[in-house]
Structure 1
Amino acid sequence: MMDRLRPYTGTALLLVLLTLAACGGSGSSADSGSNGGNGGSGDGGAGKLLGLQQSDSQFVISDGETRLLLDRNDWHARWALADGTTLVEDARDNGTRSQTNPDYAQYNDRQDGIDKAYPGLPTVSYAPYAYLSADQWHYATGASAVQLDGDTATIDVATDDGLGATLRVQFASDGSLRMHFAPAAAASAVSTAWASPSSEHYFGGGQRFSSVDLRRTALPLWISHGSGANREGSTNEIASSFFWCPCGWGLASDSDARGEIVFARINQRSDAGRVTIENNALELSWYRGTPTQMLAARTAITGRPQWTPPDWMWRPMVWQDSDTSTDSVRALVDGMQSRGIPLGAVWLDNPWDAGKGSFDFDPARFADPDALIKEVHDKGVRFMVWLSPFVSGPYFDEASARGWVVTGTRADGNDATYYPTRGIDPHLDFTNPDAAAWWEDGLRRLIRRGVDGVKVDRGEEDLSDDSVWANGLPNRLNHNAYVDHYQHAIFDAFQSERPNGDFAIFSRGGWNGSARWSAHWEADNTSLLGDLGLTQVLRGLLSMAASGFPFVGGDIGGYAGVRQDQGESAGGIPLLPPDEPTYIRWLELGALSPVMQTDVPPWWVSDNAVRVYRRYATLHDRLVPYIAAAAKQAVDAGLPIVRPLPFSCPDDAQAVATTDEYLFGPDLLVAPVTSLASETGITTRRIYLPAGRWHNFWNGNTIDGPRTFLALVPLAQLPLYVRDGANLPAGVSADQLP
């Protein structure tokens, strides 16, 4: 188990009725987490005493609820319920113990020791419980002995090289299996594979821009901002080694190590999935139950948000890139308020400071920053700034002299850590406690001046295997965890200055456990409709929710456009990206996301965009009590605010196949329009409503589910449906919006 992922010690897992996103209704108790799935003790602690049955051909280990069946003479493992129903089992031997990895040839783009996209290993194995030693894959051939100690079984594993291995299995009290596989041989990588029938679909994995359903994809366990880093043409800033199947089981790799999970990928094996990491032992957690139960169990281990965000974090926010100054901040705040648009916070993006690591304002941009902070606060708006983990100028000189920066990244001594070299400043080494304390002290000074929150950028840059870290670990074990150290330091600074939780933190990068310290924003999407832009944002929102990242929102209008650079001078020019239809469709999704924020104020687009923005920002603002209540469930029980239909309705085959809709909290069903075809004023959208009675938010029409239908969707009207009996905040109705 990852040492830094200590059991969650906040509010205990709720054993009362959760307000669930279930097809059966908002008050169903069927998924309460106390029915033998993974909603039990919350910390995955000691389970029941185990029993063992054995024959000449098989060992059967059981805790009374599930059984692990191990073949003695030809390795095969199967996890089943007590009644014999199979949850998951090892992949069957297809006659090939190792094979060339086709992804390696396609994505191996190493330059100066740095990968833009992690390609996996040159060869891989689909043999269960395999390991790479001296460039050759070896594998388990049988189970030779089993010893029981309380809730844990230790299995002696025979291997093809004759050296053997040990498999330790804990039947944890939350219903999961915790496995530790350690070969006796010196191993550089470890791997296992499971059988993947065509009926199985997988969800989670962090921010997946290319597909919500992970089947037939690869998940690089290596966060990166590099284009194509997810092997599907997009970036990989937020990854999670946890996924689940609506069929009733899930899996997580409990390691920070570089690796990959491959889900029945056609170019490898369409009948099997595989997890491989570059380490000498394999740590796995196998989960069971409904998606709600599995996510509750997983987040009880990796950690849920460690603070209950203030209501203002859920209000609409605005920022702009590059041209950051006293005048630009006033223009954003006054521009929103003078147009009657609700506003909760303004962000100062890069550059705003006197140097990275200074924690002070650039005097050329901000003559009197303290007066500006007070001015913004007096208008009822919170004040946030941009941060990075870099140090520059005299702050680099000081940190470097004290040995507080990551070194050794490049042979030429240039520790600019980006692929390819772009002159980005070196990283502060947050694995050094003194460096982290120095950095936190600087941030505390800024907080005491009135800064209410931060936009946490970077941290996923591709460091090389030659990088030197204070904790002595190799880069393959430090890289993913770096964002967690970085974000943890930020959280600690705010928590020490504002123990009441009155702060907001939004991060671009993320890894297992990052949701403890920060909300996240989906970064740097192209200002287009379809697969290159808005559709990615919808996928990222749903996949992050499915992975245990509950507080998320994208940049309304995208980041990579033209208006973002042209600013107010672009207003009224119709064809610049994002154009008006793209912006409005993006706005609709953003308004029904937990975090609503934009780097393109609507008057930079058109007068009509202002009118529509006012309407949706008002809707989101009035939903704040509803969002805050759902956020509290995320903190207490791991239940996400955004609930994809496969998560909410795992027993409904049509819901599982519907990966472009979601429940927003318990009672609002959202079907965003993101396709290229929606560029026109009116488009069509196929919509699925699960079981129950639903009401069209805009006209009140009643529809009984389950039902699939084709809807005509006007440009400014998001397909939005309200569950019958929903209790929404005051003013949340179409006829009460401006």
Structure 2
Amino acid sequence: MRPSVNEAPELAVRWTGVGVETGFVAREDGFDLRFAGRTVLRHRPACPAVAIGRGDPAITMFRGNYRIEDSPEPLAAPADWALYEDAVVLSDRAGPAVRLGLVGNRLTVAALRPGADRLTVRFAAEPDEAVWGGGEQMSYLALNGRRFPIWTSEPGVGRDKSTALTRRMDEEGMAGGDYWTTNYPQPTFLTARWLAVHLAEACYSVLDFTDPAHHVVEAWRSEAVFELFADTGPIGLVGQLSTRFGRQPELPDWAIGGAIVGLKAGTDSFARLERFLAAGTAVSGLWCEDWAGIRETSFGRRLFWDWHVGARSAARYPDLTARIAALRERGIRFLAYANPYLAADGDLFAEGLAGGHFALRQDSDEVYLVDFGEFDCGVVDFTRAETRAWFAERVLAREMLDRGMAGWMADFGEYLPTDVRLADGSDPMEAHNRWPVLWAEVNAMALASRGLTGEALFFMRAGYSGVQAQCPLLWAGDQSVDFTRHDGIGTVLTGALSAGLVGNAYSHSDCGGYTSLHGNVRSAELLRRWAELAAFAPVMRSHEGNRPDDNLQYDSAPELLACFARWSRVHAALAPYVRHLAGEARATGLPLQRPLFLHYPADPALHAVQDQYLYGADLLVAPVIEAGQTARPVVLPGEGVWRHVWSGADLAAGTHVVAAPFDQPPVFYRPDSAFAALFAALPEALAA
């Protein structure tokens, strides 16, 4: 039985009615928590809203891949309850077990039992209520029916336990991944009641949507804060989340005005760039990730993780600063690469060691070295303010920005081990998910130090709650060079759409994919389809992959080079529209690539559509992401007509099978758009 009002006379008890908009509501058989007119929690003795426990974790990490297991001891699932003015206390026979308090939109759930460090909170769900979010999810846009552990890590190779490649990668180092593994998780979910719940903690957690009656959040903490958001529709809700997590600056004009060509061939990169230009490619930048040197490993050609212009860089890129300036005079930016680790056999390692800039072993003052695949690196300890300032100035600003570089890939951020000793004394289990945000902050500090925020550009794959305020551009990570369902070309669409819902306006991918292992190599078909897709993203950037010598490149054959050139021109022609969308993103928080339901929320059939998207409100893109496909079904939402870009034919709203030969991916626009003339001219850009 719950305590009665008379059993707690010293506390002001609020018995609120059914119509309350926000607050705890007493029922005959329990209580509800309502927020903005929506029931968020339902507590009934037969189904308690909160359970607590004590964990017994076992964590294994190998090269950024994690196995996290737990054998928790249940402590309480208390059924009795007492409702006070702004809180509820849940009890069982052993006494008070959990306190829930609501202040504004912040719900605090706290275990009251000694030793409790596991919370399970069951949020209310309505029948057939669609759920999205979870950060950058690569396999599923709608999360219903599945569990999603929230832990930044390598996403794995294959990401599908039924495939031979995934199983082999698991055997070789836990590296196969699964549908939920991602560089950028976030414990935020949105529902079709236009309600969002965000776990405002960095701990390991799980979003569990396997029970249609509840949206369950598991958190490895004794106390956790959940932030609640609600709106009349998805556009306003996404805008609220963007405001909460921070909005990116608008992309610079140069980044959207053509393709960034990725080459890592030393000085030969400059000669190869000329071939792209001669083929008619609209080039905005040259990206050479190997600027600091390379090392060969069994995985493929890796970079030498020593981010400065030293002997290795000078041997591979002599006169680099002068070459960067010469490209800039031609309107072409130079971009590079960095990550938050330093190779133990590199020059900067000694400088970092002398400055106390590395995370240490727990049992000694030795630097904690991480195996990154046949070479060891120190983890730069960004919990220390002096270290953040050192890396931002010494590496990113002086070695890169001051040499005229316009940006870089800010790679990694997921590898923080759970047994390091950090300068601020924080628990590495809590610091792990925060690490990508700290890494983003360091990069943003470097840009700000030179007054280049919004002009220079770094892009990241790793993330967590709050990275939005620091990182101007996401990239979708290391897809396999294929059409596979969980690790191929199509995952970049799902990643962009899911990340966009939680405040990330801009996303793009490695055009052509990245990971080539065990005989899995690029096909000409894949390269052509990826160029078509990349043209309709905010940034178009190619990549040679981890095994460039084994794979086709865009300059491997004249027809592939011509293909890339054609779609780079389409990308450049869209720049005025992208600039408009960037301004919209800054003002409202809307992402550029949007799920169909964002503008058409009344149609439940659109809730799980993830193989096509709205590029802004006026353009609909349905890329070809299956091998051998020359036609595909396309959903044209809403009412009225959509105009086919390549033929000019109008189709009524509804589902159609649309021809999709090479160079004609299904793309449609609204004829009444202010940008209709620009869209109608895209075939001319393609043919120029």
Q: Which residue of 2 aligns with 1:299?
A: 242
Letter of the 1:298 partner, please give it: L
Q: 1:112 deviation in Å? A: 6.5
* CA drift at 1:118: 5.2
**Counterpart AA for 1:415:** Y
Match of 1:704 among 649, 652, 666: 652
Q: Percent identity?
A: 21
Task: Choose which of 353, 368, 371 in structure 1 pairs with 2:322.
Answer: 371
**Residue 533 of structure 2: SS of its match in structure 1?**
helix
Q: For 1:56 and 1:632, how far apart are their aligned partners in 2?
A: 58
Aligned to 2:474: 520
Matching of residues 432-447 of structure 1 within 5 Å = 432-442=384-394, 443-445=396-398, 446-447=400-401
Write the mapping of 1:321-400 to structure 2, written as runs, cut at 5 A: 323-328=264-269, 330-350=270-290, 352=292, 356=305, 358-361=307-310, 362-392=313-343, 393-400=346-353
Cα-to-partner distance string for 1:297-349 (whole Å, 9 max, x where unaligned): 122121111x232111223334546x442222x03431221111101111121
Aligned-partner residue type, residue 168 of structure 1: G
Q: Which residue of 2 aligns with 1:130?
A: none
For residue 630 of structure 1, report the CA deviation from its aligned partner.
1.0
Q: Shift of the alpha carbon at 1:658?
A: 2.3
Tell me the SS of whatever aligns to 1:417.
strand
Change (3 A) 1:449 1:61: farther
Aligned to 2:98: 165
**For residues 113 and 640 of structure 1, do their structure 2 counterparts lie closer, same or farther at Cα, with a shift above 3 Å needed?**
closer
Give the whole-Å Cα distance in 1 for the aligned partners of 2:14 and 2:625.
52
CA distance in 1, matches of 2:286, 2:579: 20
Give yes or no for contact 1:74–1:142 (8 Å, CA) kept in 2.
no
SS of the aligned residue for 2:463 comes to coil
Deviation at 1:272, TM superposition (A): 2.5
* AA partner of residue 71 (structure 2): P
Contact kept in structure 1, 2:152 and 2:185, CA below 8 Å: yes
Matched, 1:553 2:486: no
Give the equivalent residue in structure 2 for 1:129.
none
> What is the match of residue 589 of structure 2?
638
What's 2:621 paired with?
670
Alignment-derived partner of residue 284 in structure 1: 226
Which amino acid in the other structure matches residue 120 of structure 2?
S
Q: Which range moves more in the overlay, 135-144 or 203-212?
A: 135-144
Amino acid at match of 2:201: S
Q: Distance in 1 between matches of 2:576 and 2:664?
A: 23
* Equivalent position of 1:621 in the other structure: 572
Q: Which structure 2 residues correspond to residues 499-648 of structure 1 after superposition, within 5 A? A: 499=452, 501-518=454-471, 519-531=473-485, 532-561=487-516, 577-600=521-544, 603-648=554-599
How big is the shift at 1:603? 3.7
Corresponding residue for 1:694? 642
2-structure distance, mates of 1:363, 1:60: 74
Question: What is the distance in 2 between the residues matched to 1:633 and 1:60?
Answer: 44
Q: Distance in 1 between matches of 2:45 and 2:572?
A: 56
- SS at 2:351's partner residue? helix
CA distance in 1, matches of 2:524, 2:63: 40
Write the mapping of 1:482-493 to structure 2, written as runs, cut at 5 A. 482-493=435-446
Q: Structure 1 residues 234, 612: closer, same or farther in 2, change over 3 A?
A: farther
Structure 1 match to 2:138: 209
**Which amino acid is 1:647 matched to?**
L
Q: Secondary structure at the match of 2:656?
A: strand
Does residue 251 in structure 1 map to residue 179 in structure 2? no
Q: What is the CA–CA distance in structure 2 between the aligned matches of 1:401 and 1:56, rounded to whole Å?
A: 63
- Contact 2:148–2:180 (CA under 8 A) maintained in structure 1: no
How big is each residue's C-alpha offset from its partner over 1:59-109, in whole Å with a ceiling of 9 and x where there is no partner?
Answer: 555999723344478654242655xxx4443376667999999xx99xx98
Q: How does 1:46-445 map to 2 (within 5 A)?
A: 59-60=14-15, 66-71=21-26, 75-79=30-34, 82=37, 86-90=38-42, 110-111=59-60, 116-117=65-66, 119=68, 121-123=70-72, 135-147=73-85, 153-159=86-92, 161-171=94-104, 177-186=105-114, 187-227=116-156, 232-233=178-179, 235-264=181-210, 269-289=211-231, 290-305=233-248, 307-320=249-262, 323-328=264-269, 330-350=270-290, 352=292, 356=305, 358-361=307-310, 362-392=313-343, 393-408=346-361, 415-417=368-370, 422-442=374-394, 443-445=396-398
Residue 415 to residue 201, structure 1, CA distance change in 2 (3 Å): same
**Paired residue for 1:455?**
409
Task: Report the CA distance between 1:499 and its aligned residue.
Answer: 4.5
Q: Structure 2 vs 1, CA of residues 735 and 259 (structure 1 numbering), >3 Å: closer, same or farther?
A: closer
TM-score when normalising by structure 2: 0.84
State the distance in 2 between where 1:89 and 1:364 align: 63
Q: Are the equivalent residues in 1 in contact too, given 2:481–2:520 (CA < 8 A)? A: no
Cα 1:638/1:195, change in 2 over 3 Å? same
Q: What is the CA RMSD across the aligned residues, in angstroms?
A: 3.4
1:56 offset after TM fit, Å?
Answer: 11
The alignment partner of 2:324 has SS state of helix
Q: Following the alignment from structure 1 to structure 2, what is the Cα–Cα distance between the partners of residues 115 and 342? A: 36
Q: Would the alpha carbon gap of residues 122 and 636 (structure 1) be closer, same or farther in structure 2, given more than 3 Å must change?
A: farther
Deviation at 1:588, TM superposition (A): 1.5
2:189 aligns to what SS in structure 1?
Answer: strand
Deviation at 1:238, TM superposition (A): 0.8
The count of aligned residue pairs is: 633
The residue type paired with residue 539 of structure 1 is T
Structure 1 residue 651: deviation in Å? 1.2
1:501 Cα deviation after fit: 2.6
Give the CA deviation at 1:400: 2.4
* 1:604 alignment partner, SS class: coil
- The answer to whether the 8 A contact 1:56-1:72 is kept is no
CA contact (8 A) 1:71 1:143 kept: no
The alpha carbon displacement at 1:163 in A equals: 3.1
Describe the shift of the 1:326–1:76 C-alpha distance in structure 2 as closer, same or farther (beyond 3 A).
farther
Q: Distance in 1 between matches of 2:570 and 2:649?
A: 19
Taking the aligned partners of 2:457 and 2:288, their CA distance within structure 1 comes to 14
Compared CA separation, residues 61 and 336, structure 1 to 2 (3 A): farther
Q: Which consecutive residues of structure 2, in runs of 5 or more, have no partner in the other structure?
A: 160-174, 295-303, 545-551
How big is the shift at 1:137?
3.1
Rounded Cα–Cα distance in structure 2 between residues aligned with 1:263 and 1:92? 20
Cα offset, 1:358, TM superposition: 4.4
Query: CA 1:112 to 1:615, structure 2 compared with 1: closer, same or farther past 3 Å?
Result: closer
> Does the residue aligned with 1:539 lie in a helix, a strand or coil?
helix
Seen in structure 2, the aligned counterparts of structure 1 residues 630 and 406 have a Cα distance that, compared at 3 Å, is: same
Q: Secondary structure at the match of 1:506?
A: strand
- In the alignment, what sits opposite 1:27? none
Displacement after TM superposition at 1:526 (Å): 0.6
**How many Å apart are 1:194 and its aligned residue?**
2.2
Counterpart CA distance in 2 for 1:699 and 1:426 is: 56
Is contact 1:70-1:143 (8 Å) kept?
Answer: no
* One-letter identity of the residue aligned with 1:146: Y
Normalised to the residue count of structure 1, the TM-score between the two structures is 0.79
- 2:60, 2:67 within 8 Å by CA — same for their partners in 1? no
Q: SS of the counterpart of 1:400?
A: helix
Give distance in 2, aligned partners of 1:410 and 1:220. 30
Name the structure 2 match of 1:10: none
Structure 1 spans left out of the alignment, 5+ residues: 1-53, 124-134, 148-152, 172-176, 566-574
The alpha-carbon deviation at position 282 of structure 1 amounts to 1.4
Contact kept? 1:416, 1:423, Cα under 8 Å: no
SS in 2 for 1:363: helix
* Distance in 2 between residues matched to 1:93 and 1:577, nearest whole Å: 57
